[in-house]
Structure 1
């Protein structure tokens, strides 16, 4: 029986996130002396609470996922001790119920104008994805570069499903493991904003059932924001290409993202 994903309520995710980050720190890193043999890796809860200036019992309740409300001030103190970066800090605040107004607004459908954008960007591969990596719009170049991404007329293509469950993805994505781990970290980040949304829970369950890598990596609790960068992909006609890709968040719906790929050799400034 495949390992089941963590429950998708915020308290259980908050518990897992705090524990994973606490276990990554050592006493040496935060200036504490080592005392005695440790049964578990990382800082003890009592040590973290001391450094954050809060009650050890209260912190234990928070990490256990009990129904307590943490203020932003306390969460920021914990984030500082855990040495979270800006993105991880924002993730912690969201899990603790401090979401921004933009995150609690209802989703809106993709506009006709937005759907047309990838078509206008031909011959550069371009697609629009939702927060759960459903493909909402794409052009012919993207369909060619990512074979079998869109396979069923009655079901949206999904980039995460393609990367982990479609065998051809490992032939196309030349640095498959780091790319796949980064995608899973970004999916986890977005799923935390939609704990009760079946689009996310069904996708994560499907990935757990079909991918041993997801079952292995998910408990590590890596989080990451969507970003631009470079990616090595194998084009069906031109072979391995170093692509530069840029992600644009749509003004109407920040979780809907336009992604455009360019051959890095064709960018201005390249010899």
Structure 2
């Protein structure tokens, strides 16, 4: 197939894919006017991809070549699966950066699991890429959620903040916590910008929650290092806890997050009560792998 034929085929492919997407699913306002063709308009795809309408139109017409970064953005906007993404890059004659950035599943090593089990009076969990929750101890499950009851593919700390109603009740200042979580996720995205798991998570939350969509678009960033949060737990009441993260020496994409209270404070007393209350009620610290 000649270069021009490849470009023409790419244009037809892009057109077909945008015809499959609805404005509502993409978080775009609907004017109420009848559409001449199904799916997204060219200008809507261009808007979502942060490129000019003229540029995108020429792509669909097979008149210009697209760069790899533009193709990566279009793969996200058009919600292409792995096979479709490979096909698009093949037609464009470019290397599929998304495929080269795919990561193997993360595994929590046994010593880290034992450490979690031994932190009987300290809530702790391990976060992986995209802020996925990889492992936890009894007290973390009692404080936040029974992670064992959440499907493995949905165990993500940012997803829980935005989709679990209990999180809105648990955090006294939910909005600040949620905004900060988005800033943490933005920083994670900078490390692995082509990670398909990150892309899927951002697309999911952007579609489900307008606040996430707004805050993600603001591009605020922050390191997940340490801080203080106020919680209102349904069993023990108000807690003020300090949290900090420690990087796993064998996998820099894994972070151990611990939560502690000021010695002698009411929060420390309530945390210990919660530890006693949950003893024997929760399964052993567990996770994928």
TM-score under structure 1 length normalisation: 0.58
Rounded Cα–Cα distance in structure 1 between residues aligned with 2:209 and 2:198: 16
Match of 2:119 among 111, 121, 126: 121
Matched residues in 2 for 1:240 and 1:113: separation? 32
Aligned length, in residue pairs: 178
Q: Please give the secondary structure, in 1, of the residue aligned with 2:177.
A: helix
Q: In the TM superposition, what is the alpha-carbon distance from 1:168 to its structure 2 partner? A: 0.6
2:169 matches 1:171: yes
Q: CA RMSD in A?
A: 3.1
2: distance between equivalents of 1:256 and 1:266?
Answer: 31
CA distance in 1: counterparts of 2:229 and 2:145, whole angstroms? 16
CA contact (8 A) 2:106 2:128 kept: no
| SS in structure 2 of the partner of residue 114 of structure 1 | helix
Structure 2: stretches of 5+ with no match in the other structure: 1-23, 29-48, 51-65, 70-100, 269-289
The residue aligned with 1:260 is 258
CA contact (8 A) 1:226 1:247 kept: yes
The residue aligned with 2:214 is 216
Q: Which residue of 2 aligns with 1:134?
A: 132
Cα distance in 2 for residues equivalent to 1:138 and 1:185: 23
Counting helix residues as a fraction of each chain, which structure ranks higher? 2
- 1:143 matched to 2:144? The reply is no
Structure number with greater Rg is 2
Q: Which runs of 5+ in 1 are unaligned?
A: 6-14, 17-64, 69-102
Q: Is the 8 A contact 2:102 2:195 kept in 1?
A: no
Distance 1:109 1:67 in 2: 31
- In the other structure, the counterpart of 1:238 is 236
How high is the TM-score relative to the length of structure 2? 0.55
